[in-house]
Amino acid sequence: MRVNCVGAVIFDADDRILLVQRGHPPGMGLWSVPGGRLEPGESDAAGLRREVMEETGLHVEVGRLAGTVERPGPSGVTYVIRDYLAAVTGGTPAAGDDAADVRWCGTDELARLPLTEGLLDTLTGWGVLPR
For residue range 51-83, what is the model confidence (pLDDT) as tens digits? 999 999 999 999 999 999 999 988 899 999 999
Model confidence band, residue 112 (pLDDT cutoffs 50, 70, 90): very high
Global pTM value = 0.93
CATH number of this structure's domain 2-107, picked from the four choices 2.60.40.420, 3.90.79.10, 3.30.420.40, 3.40.50.12280: 3.90.79.10
Q: Pairing between strand 78-91 and 2-10?
A: parallel
Helix (H, G, I), strand (E, B) or coil at 111: coil
Each domain of the chain, given as residue ranges in start order, spans: 2-107
Helix (H, G, I), strand (E, B) or coil at 34: coil
Among residues 36, 60, 61, 58, the alpha carbon closest in space to that of 47 is found at 36
